[in-house]
Structure 1
Amino acid sequence: MSDLTTTATREERLNRPSGIRSLWLGDTKVSYVPDGDARLRPSALLPDTTDEVWAARPEYLDPEGRLVASVGALLVEHGGRALLIDAGVGPQTLRAPDGPIAEIHGGALPDSLAELGLAPGDIEAVALTHLHSDHIGWAVHPVPGGDRPLFTRAEYLITAPEWDRIDLLTGEGTTERVAALAPRVRTLDDGQEIFPGVHVRIAPGHTVGHAEYVVTGGGRRLIAFGDAAHSPVQIDRPDWSSAFDHDLARTAVHRRRLVAELAEPDTIGFGVHFADAPFGHVRATGDGQTWHPVDA
């Protein structure tokens, strides 16, 4: 496994959003597909932190003191076929005067796919980690200037427990839009193979049916862990749960197991919100562990 970063460049990448990044697992290509980015209020996102915590970790923050998060999707290509994991936030910009999200915007995903040589019609399925609005954007928002969906032939893959509780989306205001996907939804069971070399595993905590996707190839595996962690800082402090987690304690327990798993040989993690370090590996450092970007 190649680690292409020095400490200096790693720190630079923690406070900027990611562009397209790709790596190969044998004959399978995986790519981060940008849709946009978010600026988050760090202590509001991670309620167990304080201003003093962030003063000691300035490398994670932009000049305004906000945590930088990427927003996008994971493209999996194998044998001329294409799967997308998550669907960005879609063609919208949202701002809030308080709470964890200061600003979030999307809309770049179609252009990002084009840069990777694909059209939306090439995507055979969109596998969702969960049903929060920054992961389902292009599934529920029509293409700007029209009323057609972006993915004209894709089915939507959602874990059965997540789909069974779409009523919990009331606070996000997306229940009706998500429900409208029903004719194209296929529900998933734990351990199911959804694409060559791609298996789902249900890891509740962030949401009731939150999914992770494990991609294997070339003697390596990649774990796309959705919102089990929102920032690389949680790798060092897996006890810090997010304000968006449905079950904070359960998510922390799972995250501790996940961090240990990501430190295993030939294992790569994919953190969709992990700034400009979406692909990484966990390394032990002194009295803890850190996220190290991996790009090839």
Structure 2
Amino acid sequence: MHTPTQPGPAPHAGSGTPHWTVGEATVHRIDETPLPPETGRWLLPGATADLVEQQEWLRPDFADQGVLRADSHSFAIRTGGLRVLVDTGIGNGKQRANPAWHDLDTPYLDRLTRAGFPPDSVDLVILTHLHTDHVGWNTHWSAAAGAWVPTFPRARHLTSRTEWDFWRGQEREMDEPRRQMFRDSVLPVADAGLLDPLDVPDDGLEIAPGLSLLPTPGHTPGHLAVRLHSAGATALITGDCVHHPVQLAHPGIGSCVDIDPARAEATRRALFSSLAGTDTLLLGTHFAPPTAGHVVRDADAYRLLPSAPRG
């Protein structure tokens, strides 16, 4: 159980932050940056233009002329007096091999603050997995310290122990870009005593009332989804167990960076089957706006009925 560090301000009226109400909780989308059109072709090579065009429901929000649309954003949750951030994006000023992630300069922290989540008010940071575009704002550059320092100094940073142990075991075999990411975005949080790897059982782990971590392995060994339940309403944040809504129509389409493609596909199929026809709001960590929706069956697969945010 975790208690809030301090009350923190309420969201600024007229801030325009996209958000959804889930029972008595609120989920805000904190935009970082749209991802370039080349992202979809690289990330989901099986999602060819012809295949994408066959799914009319993807247009115009999730795809255009066969080209997938994708974003980098976080979800910030207000529930039970807690301020919770799910994934921290790419980050500013980070030296990255991917040109779309290299040396960004976005107003992410301003957007987070306008939504009512100034960095020192965040209680929990949930890292669905330890990939570069999910841990970047864990740290920011401090000229005074001459180092990358934690952005959320009062927050416990949660990830699965399976995830943490896997990457620590790969440390000597990491390529230099991934090693650099760990140096600037993961290890400073661990060294500050803020990283808390958790043992997450197969049926999930409740970390706060109504807030649970769910194992969704395949993309990485310890990948997590996040389930929010409040006053009879439920939402699920995907992380990268689902990258794009096209995967609902074709669950066999995997990511080029899935560590265990067969297990990733099995995870997607089980997830879609469990959500289809329910009231659970699915929130995609890389889904372009409107970002969220409900899973419905469509012939022998699925599609997403979009649910536009307020704000």
Q: TM-score range by the shorter chain?
A: 0.7 to 0.9
Match of 2:118 in 1: 119
Note the C-alpha offset of 1:94: 7.7
Match of 2:30 in 1: 33
Within 5 A, what are the aligned runs for 1:129-140?
129-140=128-139
Q: Does 1:103 align with 2:113?
A: no
Contact persistence 2:278–2:294 (CA under 8 A)? no
Three-state SS of the structure 2 residue aligned to 1:259 is: helix
1:219 & 1:128 partners in 2: Cα distance?
25
Deviation string 1:192-232 (CA, Å, 9 cap, x unpaired) is: 22222101112210001101111101212111120011111
Note the C-alpha offset of 1:181: 2.2
Match of 2:17 in 1: 20
2:47 pairs with one of 46, 49, 67 = 49
Distance 1:257 1:189, change over 3 A: same
Which stretches in structure 2 are left out of the alignment for 5+ residues?
1-15
Distance 1:102 1:41, change over 3 A: farther
Match of 1:187 in 2: 197
Tell me the TM-score normalised to structure 1 length.
0.82
Sequence identity (%): 32
1:221 & 1:165 partners in 2: Cα distance?
30
* Alignment length (residue pairs): 273
Three-state SS of the structure 1 residue aligned to 2:19 is: strand
Note the C-alpha offset of 1:189: 2.1
Distance 1:285 1:51, change over 3 A: closer
Match of 1:291 in 2: 304
Match of 1:176 in 2: 183
Contact persistence 2:40–2:70 (CA under 8 A)? no
Three-state SS of the structure 2 residue aligned to 1:135 is: helix
State the Cα RMSD in Å.
Answer: 2.6
1:54 & 1:201 partners in 2: Cα distance?
29
Match of 1:197 in 2: 210
Match of 2:83 in 1: 82
The letter of the residue matching 1:179 is L
1:166 & 1:127 partners in 2: Cα distance?
17
1:92 & 1:56 partners in 2: Cα distance?
39
**Worse overlay, 108-117 or 157-166:** 108-117
Three-state SS of the structure 2 residue aligned to 1:180 is: helix
Which stretches in structure 1 are left out of the alignment for 5+ residues?
1-18
Note the C-alpha offset of 1:144: 8.0
Tell me the TM-score normalised to structure 2 length.
0.78
Q: Does 1:228 align with 2:226?
A: no
Distance 1:144 1:38, change over 3 A: farther
Distance 1:196 1:158, change over 3 A: same
2:222 pairs with one of 209, 213, 216 = 209
Distance 1:142 1:53, change over 3 A: same
Deviation string 1:242-277 (CA, Å, 9 cap, x unpaired) is: 112111111011101111122142211111100003
Match of 1:69 in 2: 70
The letter of the residue matching 1:134 is D
Three-state SS of the structure 2 residue aligned to 1:91 is: coil
Deviation string 1:16-44 (CA, Å, 9 cap, x unpaired) is: xxx83211222211111112221234333
Contact persistence 1:192–1:201 (CA under 8 A)? yes
Deviation string 1:63-106 (CA, Å, 9 cap, x unpaired) is: 8x75321112111112332011111111148887xxxx672456
